[in-house]
Structure 1
Amino acid sequence: MTSTQNVIFIYLVNFIINVNPNPVDNGATIETKQLLSILRSFSKDTHRFLFGQHKATMTGCEGGHSPYSIHKRNNHTSWTFTEGQVNIHSEDKLCDIKDLTGEYPSVIGFDLGDLSSRSLAIQKYLIKRAANRGLIVTVSWHMRNPLNGGSPWTTDDHSHTNLSHTVRRLLDGGDNHLKFKQVLNQAADFFLSLHDAKGNLIPVLFRPFHEMDGNWFWWGTGNRVQNTPDDYKRLFRLIVHHMRDIRKVHNLLYVYSPSKTNDKENYLQFYPGDSSVDVLGYDYYFKAPFSPAITDFQSRIAHIADLAKSKGKSAAISEIGITSSGLQKHHRFWTDHVLTQILSLKNASISYIMAWMNQCGAHSDVVRVPYRGHEASSEFLKFYHHAATIFGSEMKRISIVPQIVG
């Protein structure tokens, strides 16, 4: 540790110790409260934030080799961690970010998906390894429609099922309420199975049913499903109640993350209330060529950070990137359009930001974060080396704080 890093570490530890966590779950584990303290500390720091990527150790675009599942295309070898590797206790050595920077991201995302035993076995294995490295784990949920098992994306659901008011039908009194509770129980079982090397439950940032203000998911609005903001609020509260109060899952922090709102009033349109949310998130994607303008991104960050501060919550950019393979042309995206803009807002503090996963396979490449050898890799290294960005190696030190009693 250099002298500069040592000063930063001491500053962060003192900062975190003096943050009083107050999660929406009064029975939250000590480790979960500790995680919230870390997030709250960064939500008060305008100079530093955690950087993460979804499925960073589960799939990537370069360096693939056995026993990973691999595809060779366009002079690079993509890879996917397999269930077979779980069975042989394989090292999860591959990670595009680590291969480029030498460090894992400080936050790693996973997804419950369809709750298949194969997928959950892989993710449970990788979550435990991430937690043992001191990394922060976040879990989203692209749930299949409980009404018919159809796709999370309404445009991909070609069944003849009447999907009208899907969310309302999952709530208490709805004709699919019991089926939905069974699905929630599967998720609860998964969360309760996550233990670190010391036997403690691993704290998880749980981000269910994100981007609800868009029309692409069955839990969204403005589509044939005809959900309402009130339906969504009740759904989110139901999830928190079931996990926290019925199943006694006390290792979750709850993240709320819309994607289209442009002011505080719109942001709160689907908000389930302060008693159900720990982190105010936002999913933001630039389009290539850049649209909307950078000022739009800045104003939305400012709104969320200000709201979080007023509510005593943490603020996060729960997804961020550029669409249409924009990174191929805009090599300085992560420095010019993300880092510089976050730091330009003097009074806006963000606890973490997360890129979506790199998706490279036999037929297509979608690169969200550069891998080693990618055209944008040298520019991303500038993002990595900046004092504001926190990657995995610092997490073990940041996480070493006195246990929080109560």
Structure 2
Amino acid sequence: MPGSPLKRRAVLLGAAAVVAAGAGTAAAAGPPTPVRIADDRATPATRALFAYLRRRQGDGILFGHQHDLTYGFTFTHPDGRASDTLAAVGDHPAVFGWDTLVLDGDERPGAEDAGEAENIAALSRCIRQGDARGGINTLTAHLPNFVTGGNFYDTRGAVVGRILPGGARHADFNAFLDRVAKAVKGARRPDGTAIPVVFRPFHENNGAWFWWGAGHTTPGEFVELYRYTVEYLRDTRNVHNLLYAYSPNSSFGGDPTGYLRTYPGDRFVDVLGYDSYDEGAGPAPWSDGLVTDLAMVVRLARERGKAAALTEFGESGTEVRDPQWFTRLLRALTADPVARQVAYMLTWANFGGAKRAYVPYPGHVLLPDFVAFHRDPRTLFAADLRGVYSARTTAVANAPFLHLVTPTDRQRVSASRTAVRVRVTPARASRVAFRVNGGRARPLCLDADGLYSGDWTIDPSSAAGGSATVTVSARVDGRTLTDSALVLLGEVTPPPAGRVDDFEGYAGDDTALSGAYTHVNSHTITLSSDHRASGSYGLAYAYDFTGAEYTSIGRPLVADWSGFTSLALWLKGDGSGNAAALQIVAGGVYFWYQVPLDDTHGQEVRIPFREFAPAPWDTANEGAALDAARLTEVTEFNLYLGRGSGGATRGVVHVDDIRAE
């Protein structure tokens, strides 16, 4: 209700904000609350923040804004106090988001011409300023490509495998984490205590736009990358003021299977996050799918003793489509008894220029609605926070844990020898060993990196079988801990020129198939032996439009198709009234061609490249042609399924033998 007396609206600055947030509040009487978090040596304030985020769920949603104090339409020179949120509603956000890009000078207050120490100090200063304004700090990681030297959008180089232990760029990755550690440990209050931060690395990994995303790494590699990051910061660099967030991108149609496909495990995650932007696609309200998925995330968080959050959201259209966008979203969220239990919701930065104003500024069409959003008692801004760090807690000690670091699950090994590496935390172990296909135990020894490691000389007879199961074990405190991975062996025969996929190279393994593709919105892909053009398998693509009007899978490519004239595939539609769109990314332009799904018998479809046109949303390349010059650089093939007028909500489409001819 606008103007509710339940909301205290004031601008709190400096030490007053810290007191309001609970840093100086007397501890409540009674025994401390036990908390189970990724770091059982976390500082008291970090444990208290976790307890607060869990306690707040269902009792108002904290509003957050990325780079609130460093980018804005209403100020030019950041001073740690000015912000568009403050200019709009007279209050700071409850959650301040920052990015590791500050460390490379790619975002303010970092600077390209500054030294490493200066940019580390700049990120530490941001965290201190957010804390001084009375808010909670989060840190997102847009990491550079450690193989090519490009940015986070540069997906070349199979980066993840090369930065894990044993990889050629592992030391470079460690050096990056060292800078993160210095910045976070350097963010301290005047009394010297470290400021808690929610760290969110490798976000939106189910999409294809980042090098750690689907199609550029396997689920097994991603899990080990995330685990390594937590263990390095926590155990090697002794950073104890971090909570860790996991945050795939929308949407999942409320099905946890896709959300958990790359989940690193309860031992490594404190906040279950979710990213989603309203792009105005389709007639169904974006908030419907958002609420469905957030309810799923909240349920998972409750089951696992975690906090839940809408870690990124925003209105992303080129123009404002709904002048009551904020309040309609709030009503949709809070009307659902489960989805309303997210602890916070953070929108992106007001970078300016042609980019979106995710927080409206004075004169913006959404400002009156944002003011109403701020006044609603169901939202919390900085001045509303009480007792964030006041809870008396004790950490539940983490039990010993073992995991296989390399090789990762479904990793392909073509050499005759590879290293087996195991991490055991937090205790030392005895009788650490590995077995291949249940054979004899082979010992692993503690190395300089704190891993138990040893060489696996691969028996040619094992390689001939195409795969092997590696099982590792260790004795810790009288218990035997184990882990295992399916390892793919031998060289893969290069596909013929122009081949996208014939679905024969996965050895009938649906997990390997899923890991090779990017995924957008709710669906399931499996290998089908019943519906195919040739060989043993085709693709069964089961879609679900409950939460979104379209879904897609994609295959990253590095190909020259300039010698071909058409795209061909075998397609069996489901007679649903829906449609498929075949998309080729060539020369940096997104070209597509729509195909109906009315045929239910299965047939060859062949589309000349000249009939492809730029995707409707790619207005910057309107009129571009899919010609030989662009076809020299093909980087993606994507298959979209979209809901037609009156089309079915669910169905299965079969595809095989996708190729250029």
Give the TM-score taking structure 2 as reference length.
Answer: 0.52
Distance 1:400 1:141, change over 3 A: closer
**1:48 corresponds to 2:60:** yes
Partner residue in 1 for 2:230:
240
Q: What is the CA–CA distance in structure 1 between the aligned matches of 2:247 and 2:170, rounded to whole Å? A: 24
Partner residue in 2 for 1:255:
245
275, 297, 305: which one aligns with 1:304 = 297
Following TM superposition, by how much is the alpha carbon of 1:4 offset from its aligned partner in structure 2, in angstroms? 4.1
Q: Would you tell me which structure has more strand in proportion to its own residues? A: 2
CA contact (8 A) 1:54 1:354 kept: yes
Distance 1:4 1:377, change over 3 A: closer
Partner residue in 2 for 1:88:
none
SS of the residue corresponding to residue 150 of structure 1 reads: coil
SS of the residue corresponding to residue 248 of structure 1 reads: coil
Q: What is the CA–CA distance in structure 2 between the aligned matches of 1:329 and 1:5, rounded to whole Å? A: 29
Following TM superposition, by how much is the alpha carbon of 1:289 offset from its aligned partner in structure 2, in angstroms? 5.5
SS of the residue corresponding to residue 100 of structure 1 reads: helix
Q: What is the CA–CA distance in structure 1 between the aligned matches of 2:393 and 2:32, rounded to whole Å? A: 11
CA contact (8 A) 1:114 1:143 kept: no
93, 103, 107: which one aligns with 1:115 = 103
301, 310, 321: which one aligns with 1:329 = 321
CA contact (8 A) 1:114 1:144 kept: no
Give per-residue Cα distances to partners, 1:151-179, cap 9 Å, x unaligned.
1013xx7xxxxx34210111112121122
Could you tell me which runs of 5 or more consecutive residues in structure 1 were left unpaired when the two chains were aligned: 69-80, 82-90, 158-162
Q: What is the CA–CA distance in structure 2 between the aligned matches of 1:40 and 1:134, rounded to whole Å? A: 19
SS of the residue corresponding to residue 51 of structure 1 reads: strand
Partner residue in 2 for 1:124:
124
Q: What is the CA–CA distance in structure 2 between the aligned matches of 1:403 and 1:347, rounded to whole Å? A: 27
Q: What is the CA–CA distance in structure 2 between the aligned matches of 1:340 and 1:194, rounded to whole Å? A: 36
Using the TM superposition, name which of 364-373 and 105-114 deviates more.
Answer: 364-373
Partner residue in 2 for 1:354:
346
Q: What is the CA–CA distance in structure 2 between the aligned matches of 1:215 and 1:125, rounded to whole Å? A: 32
393, 397, 404: which one aligns with 2:393 = 404
Partner residue in 1 for 2:334:
343
Following TM superposition, by how much is the alpha carbon of 1:268 offset from its aligned partner in structure 2, in angstroms? 0.3
Q: What is the CA–CA distance in structure 2 between the aligned matches of 1:387 and 1:274, rounded to whole Å? A: 32
SS of the residue corresponding to residue 186 of structure 1 reads: helix
Q: What is the CA–CA distance in structure 2 between the aligned matches of 1:302 and 1:266, rounded to whole Å? A: 15
Partner residue in 2 for 1:58:
70
Q: Sequence identity of aligned pairs in percent? A: 31
**1:167 corresponds to 2:160:** yes
Partner residue in 1 for 2:148:
148
CA contact (8 A) 1:135 1:392 kept: yes
SS of the residue corresponding to residue 168 of structure 2 reads: coil
Q: What is the CA–CA distance in structure 2 between the aligned matches of 1:304 and 1:405, rounded to whole Å? A: 26
Of structures 1 and 2, the one with the larger relative CO (CA 8 A, separation 6+) is 1
Q: What is the CA–CA distance in structure 1 between the aligned matches of 2:175 and 2:393, rounded to whole Å? A: 34
CA contact (8 A) 1:50 1:106 kept: yes
CA contact (8 A) 1:254 1:279 kept: yes
Give the TM-score taking structure 1 as reference length.
Answer: 0.83
Following TM superposition, by how much is the alpha carbon of 1:20 offset from its aligned partner in structure 2, in angstroms? 3.9
Following TM superposition, by how much is the alpha carbon of 1:142 offset from its aligned partner in structure 2, in angstroms? 0.6
Q: What is the CA–CA distance in structure 1 between the aligned matches of 2:59 and 2:212, rounded to whole Å? A: 36
CA contact (8 A) 2:97 2:139 kept: yes
SS of the residue corresponding to residue 298 of structure 2 reads: helix
SS of the residue corresponding to residue 269 of structure 1 reads: coil
CA RMSD of aligned residues (A): 2.5
Q: What is the CA–CA distance in structure 1 between the aligned matches of 2:33 and 2:73, rounded to whole Å? A: 39
Partner residue in 2 for 1:228:
218
Q: Would you tell me which structure has more helix in proportion to its own residues? A: 1
Bigger Cα Rg: 2
Give per-residue Cα distances to partners, 1:60-113, cap 9 Å, x unaligned.
012x25xx1xxxxxxxxxxxx2xxxxxxxxx42311111111110000000012
Distance 1:278 1:402, change over 3 A: closer
